[in-house]
Amino acid sequence: MKYFILSVLVISSLLISNNSEAQCDATLWSHVYHSYRLVVNKQCDTVTGIVAAIWGEADGDMHIRLNVDSRFSFMINAANVSGEAGCLVCEPICATTCTQSDAISSCAGFTNTVFLPAAGERVYVVGSYVTDNVHGWNEIHPVTAIGFTTAIENIEPNKPFVNIYPNPASSYVYVKLSDKPTKPVHIVISDGLGRLAGQYQMFDTQVIKIPTDFLPEATYYYHISQDDILLKGGSFVVIHNK
């Protein structure tokens, strides 16, 4: 029982403190095939969701499509939508037999330690959050760890409830907290290509009014955090009234 409680606490900490680079195995990068293709957005990140599909690649990597939970939807860009069925790509490296001749050297001397999930499983994935500059979509690559979230879904820190309205928006979108924050709350908004569309913060108020009248009509993604803990992620549409 002590071992189980300790395991739950460790995994819970992993999900909550997803900004710590110490969680990721940096040595994996020396075995990434064509690593120059990957633009690093965050050296180490944690995402949760449901596995939509999984298959092997010729370079030995496994290609996992993760249907991310709504709070992580900001990690999905237009290329993920068009090329990966709206899913985040997750790639454990050297996880299957490499049949691509120029990729064999990348996996030489390396033993994969990531246990792969089945489609339909709810999981957390830890690894580097990157953009593949050839395909354009976002990925967790290389993946350091994959585990199940079922046992810890309800273990979360106390945090305010966040409401965002209206959706669609025209001139403004409002972010409203259920309680006055005890620490600053940061809001990052990006477009479908991952480009920054605005950064905001709030502390002495429960509501912030964000102008959207200058934004082109499109879908935008938001990431709301407090003390490096994700409060809410999602998207809203901007449609200007004629």
First to last CA, the chain: 62
Q: Residue 22: pLDDT above 50?
A: no
CA distance 220 to 197: 8
Retrieve residue 127's tokens. 């690894």
pTM of the entire structure? 0.57
Q: Which domains does the chain show, CATH number per domain?
A: 2-152 (2.40.50.140), 162-238 (2.60.40.3080)
Contact 37, 133 (CB under 8 A): yes
pLDDT in tens, 65-103: 999 998 899 999 999 999 999 999 999 998 887 888 999
In sequence order, what E strands does 57-97 have?
62-68, 88-90
pLDDT in tens, 160-172: 788 899 999 999 9
Contact 143, 155 (CB under 8 A): no
Helix residue ranges per DSSP H, the chain: 2-16, 78-83, 104-107
Burial tier of 113 (Cβ tally within 10 Å: 0-12, 13-18, 19+): exposed
